[in-house]
Amino acid sequence: MAFSHHFDPTVLREYDIRGIVGRTLHAADAFAIGRAFGSIVSRAGGSRVAAGYDGRLTSPELEAALVEGLRASGMEALRIGRGPTPMLYYAATTLETDGAVMVTGSHNPPDYNGFKMMIGRKPFFGEQIQQIGQLAETGDVVPEAEGSEQSVAIVDDYVSRLLSDWDGGDRMLKVVWDNGNGAAGEVLKKLVASLPGEHVVLNGTIDGRFPAHHPDPTVPANLADLIAQVRRRKADIGIAFDGDADRIGLVDNTGEILFGDQLLVILARDVLKSHPGATVIADVKASQVLFDEVLKAGGAPLMWKTGHSLIKAKMAETGSPLAGEMSGHIFFADHWYGFDDALYAAVRTLGIVARMNTPLSEVRQALPHVINTPEVRFDCDDRRKFAVIEEVAARLAAEGAKVSSTDGVRVQTPDGWWLLRASNTQAVLVARCEATTGAGLERLKAALTQQLTASGLATPDFSGSNAGH
């Protein structure tokens, strides 16, 4: 019987495939992804695809259906089992597979799940994901074949490779980790057993219900347990992961949060010692402080589009040794493989902290102080959101404003900057402002609001803004 499958149109996203299991995402979708992705790999001359899954309750069923689809396309499926997304990236890279698929809902609620993919050493995203839908819909897949599968034990090799770049000597740091009941649990247990120092792991058990808190370290409320334990135990640092451990959250020895761009400053200063003049990439939402500090440290800062797949592609193009996003994706090509890995970023960060002769809090406090809003997201129809950006850009051009159009519009003024961009994954616009003074921040918010009003949109809710950073 000829193969044909229709996906719910909401699940084929820019960077991954993602939906609510039982409503918009089913095991039949996982089979179809394997069937279509396997066909793409086959037509490119490949035959081996690595597959892994996170700790969600629905992940084993989806991974099994995915492997069935890969095999039906003639693929050899290398099943690495349960673990963090970067462990799959590591397996795909070191085993030199022709593709890789991770079953993961990342930092979404427990009833979500999804798929992240690589083809060769590169991210698989954008039009490529849409192609999965088109091939499935039309049945344009390779003839059914009998592929094969094998289980591959990669955990110990991955942990050993993480440890091989420890460069903090024998200093006995006191570290609190919050796994958030995410997929890194078993890897993290092995990792801390071999790192020097005193390590306390919170919520280490993998549990796809996420009973402790939502597995997203970019939301300050989700770091409350970590902050409390760092303060109570007088730890040197606290580290948190999202549900599949490709994003990191950090708090210093006083329990204050270091945001993604602040962590990138610390990492960049270290990496630039051995790569003077190198390009360091950050997304358009990052603080101006980051770009200024990279320049001061002898690097070439590059502002780029938000999205882990886009950042990875830009790193490969520019030869950048380090990149990061506000969302906590950190990408090392220095000693590592260019993909986002929160466990690896943690090892490198701990090495830097171990070599410091001052507490991490002093480094954070010494950064130039700015005041910024959080990332404000507000609904805007998918068909309208990009048009709004074009309208705003046209008005700003007529005014002679200083604008970066790398990703949406980022407007520089004497007060600081404001950003408006369209989300690639949701029907929302994203706004952010940053100033050196409170009065300046209010002027930036007013300028942004004026542009939104001119395009017929309501004023976004900036409550929770004026946070020092």
Please give the positions annotated as active site: 106
Among positive and negative, which fits the CA dihedral 458, 463, 464, 466? positive
> Which residue's structure tokens are 């071999």?
194
Rounded Cα gap, residues 42 and 37, in angstroms: 9
* Alpha carbon distance 40, 34 (integer Å): 10
- What is the number of other CB atoms lying within 10 angstroms of the CB of residue 281? 27
CA 126 centroid distance within chain? 16
Tokens of 381: 């129809």
Give the helix ranges, DSSP H, for 95-181.
127-138, 155-163
The answer to whether 236 touches 219, Cβ cutoff 8 Å, is no
DSSP classification of residue 220? G
DSSP 8-state code for residue 164 = T
User: How many whole angstroms separate alpha carbon 58 and alpha carbon 87?
Assistant: 19
CA distances from 331 to 170, 188, 201, 400, 411 (A): 26, 19, 24, 35, 26
Say which residues have a Cβ less than 8 Å from residue 166's Cβ, sequence separation at least 6.
Answer: 195, 347, 350, 351
User: Which element (helix H / strand E) includes 430?
Assistant: strand 428-435
Among the listed residues 114, 119, 111, the one whose alpha carbon sits nearest the alpha carbon of residue 85:
114
Beta strands in 74-224 (DSSP E): 76-82, 99-103, 112-119, 122-123, 148-151, 174-178, 198-202
CA 205 to chain CA centroid, Å, is 22
Count how many residues are written for the chain. 469
